[in-house]
Structure 1
Amino acid sequence: MSRSDTGHGTGSQGQFLSEGVNQAWPFLTGEAFKAEHRVNAQPGAALSDIASYGNERGVSYQYFRTEDTGYFYMTDHNYTTPWNFARDRPAPTHIVIHIGANDASQNVTADAFVETYQTFLTRLRGLYPVQPIFVFTPWGWPNADGSVSYYYGGQYERIVNERHRIGDRSVFLVNTTGWVMWEDVFPDNQHPNVPGHQKIASLFEKWLIQWGLRPESQWATPV
């Protein structure tokens, strides 16, 4: 299993963790399966190609480029170049996407978000024609009173159902409702803390095993 992860940064790359991505759920999941893993994430970025929390472009654009959004502020390099996916060896065997919180925070409508997500999946399919794609629903924003604020209710199901309708049966919904509660986040910013990321990784690992994936017995490359 080689896995490629793309998602908004605060949910995928371990923002606010002392060891960053090394403590984040995508990294932990990859380690558990002895998978060569790549995390593609940008704190504050939306999927929609809009300015969001210091990012001039969205993940739907940035994922396919070489430079991150910091390029915009460099006077000697204020442009991007296409990423050469042919040089990704080995190619990913599984794709995991967790994204949408920053789109919701920027008041992107549900219909516009779904349209952007579908276009993004179509572009990914051009690169990865047969790989399973796992679409996470939001785990939301937990509150101290025990409630959880969710966004884009029913829209991720809509996205996956549309892929199935056009014949792409290798897109799977991962329902993360209830995975993250108040004790799993930093109280001052509601982003997953270290135990929270460990919990997400553990639950996703169980989900993958039930789906049919098994950890490798050893690493494909020496460590």
Structure 2
Amino acid sequence: MRGLTPLLCFVSLLPPSLSTILQNGQARDTRFVDSRIASIDANTTAWKTYGPNATELAYKGRWDSKHISWWAAPGLKVGFSGQHVAITFGEHTSPGVLVAYRVAGLDWQMTNVSSGTHQLVSPETPGLNRTVPSQLPLTLEMRVTNWAYGVQIAAVHVSSTSELIKVPNHAKTIEFIGDSLTSGMYATYEAFSGFGFGIGAGFGNIEYSITAYPGICLHDANCWGNPRGQTYQWFQTSDTSPRAAQIYGTEPERWNFDAHPKADIVLINLGTNDNNTANNLTSEQYISSYISFIPKVHKIHPDAQIILMSLWKGFSTVGNSYKQIGAFTDGIFQVYEHFKDEGYVHYFNSTGILQHNDYGPGSHPTDFGHIKIASHVMQYIRVKFGWEFGASGPEVQHETLYWNDQRDY
């Protein structure tokens, strides 16, 4: 199964997860691993069990006090010894949610998980037996591919003679604040194919968090079934999904920023939903909310460089070609001008990066559109702030390796 892709205006009415990955309307050939095994209890001598609050576990993105994941592409990373790692998922795990996982930086594997125990590492796992310097443990990384589903970590298990090993965080951190564009809606693997993930994982040597959810506005208003906007929700641990409402109602946990590394860069891509007439918001409300939001973000991340990203809303036909449609083009630049002299706010003009065929029928970028956006933003960050690329070959965008090796065709 895969994550859901409901229409944006019905984001609050989530159907059961689908069993296929759609690619241009056709089913993509997928080979998801069947990872479910019998439950592991305290009396099982073949396994050593760690609780969800074990210090060896590094949670990526936003997870609440019950170890439930939220927002887009949240993850878990841990080093381990031995040849066996299993995870027991708690009752608040979305049934059949698609997760990606890999050993070291090798190819991602995909599996559907529900509450219960799933073995992600066995002697047959690709990359398990490769030669690794003794001071570097093998790592297991797991990411939830969707933006509306999630998992709950109840326990992590290794073989009885093995152990989990804490992996240090990278020195730099970036946070993305966005909506359906940043969270990868309608991309084949959704958040796992979105440009937020592409940038964060593409650098290879940074930590990243994608606080983005489809349909959400910047202004604190009900937009496409999202009861609150990012000027409120960003300060909460959970997102605006129906599962969040089911678990927490109208009283979500506040996110403890002080318990997590401060961001060095915050990239904001918000306003596409504010700009939709269905949500009945004015440009004055949008600009005013943006201007009040930025100092709050800066107060929490006082050393962060904040990037305001211009918006795109697809393409319209002009003559015999197409023209990109923007949203709040002057408004976002006006917000940048308001803070320009402060020195920590920057403007990234995305106009012209995407062509018509980089945009899908669902008014969102294709997988390759997301890759183009990610590539341009990464170069901008490298040139503007001196961040060097640290990826040395790990797979990032899954199943985008296409080639032709036939000379006669």
User: C-alpha distance in 2, partners of 1:72/1:61?
Assistant: 15
Question: Whose strand fraction is larger, Structure 1's or Structure 2's?
Answer: 2
User: C-alpha distance in 1, partners of 2:340/2:385?
Assistant: 19
- Given candidates 235, 258, 264, the residue that maps to 1:86 is 258
- Given candidates 15, 25, 30, the residue that maps to 2:200 is 30
Alignment of 1:176 onto 2:355: no
5 Å-filtered alignment, 1:152-191, equals: 152-165=328-341, 168-187=342-361, 189-191=362-364
Note the aligned Cα RMSD (angstroms): 2.0
1:15 match: 185
User: C-alpha distance in 2, partners of 1:108/1:77?
Assistant: 25
Structure 2 residue identity aligned to 1:161: E
1:99 match: 270
2:83 match: none
> Contact 1:60/1:116 (CA < 8 Å) preserved in 2?
yes
2:313 match: 140
Alignment of 1:61 onto 2:232: yes
Q: Which stretch of structure 1 is more off in the superposition, 127-136 or 17-26?
A: 17-26
Q: CA deviation at 1:59?
A: 0.9
> Contact 1:140/1:180 (CA < 8 Å) preserved in 2?
no
Structure 2 residue identity aligned to 1:84: N
> Contact 2:195/2:370 (CA < 8 Å) preserved in 1?
yes
Report the count of equivalent residues: 214
Q: CA deviation at 1:137?
A: 0.7
Kindly indicate whether structure 1 or structure 2 has the higher relative contact order, using CA contacts under 8 Å at least 6 residues apart. 1
Q: CA deviation at 1:72?
A: 7.0
User: C-alpha distance in 1, partners of 2:368/2:384?
Assistant: 24
Question: Whose helix fraction is larger, Structure 1's or Structure 2's?
Answer: 1
> Contact 1:5/1:40 (CA < 8 Å) preserved in 2?
yes
- Given candidates 294, 303, 313, the residue that maps to 1:121 is 294
TM-score, with normalisation over the residues of structure 1? 0.88
Structure 1 residues 29 and 146, CA gap change in structure 2 (3 angstroms): same
Task: Calculate percent identity across the aligned residue pairs.
Answer: 23
Q: CA deviation at 1:153?
A: 2.4
> Contact 2:177/2:267 (CA < 8 Å) preserved in 1?
yes
Structure 1 residues 122 and 71, CA gap change in structure 2 (3 angstroms): farther
Q: Structure 1, unaligned stretches of length 5 or more?
A: none
State the SS of the aligned residue for 1:96: strand
Alignment of 1:74 onto 2:243: no
> Contact 2:312/2:327 (CA < 8 Å) preserved in 1?
no
Q: CA deviation at 1:107?
A: 3.5
> Contact 1:6/1:97 (CA < 8 Å) preserved in 2?
yes
Which of the pair has more CA radius of gyration? 2
Q: CA deviation at 1:129?
A: 1.3
TM-score, with normalisation over the residues of structure 2? 0.50
2:176 match: 5
Structure 1 residue identity aligned to 2:194: A
User: C-alpha distance in 1, partners of 2:248/2:177?
Assistant: 28
**Moved beyond 3 Å, runs of 4+:** 75-78, 216-219
Structure 1 residue identity aligned to 2:217: A
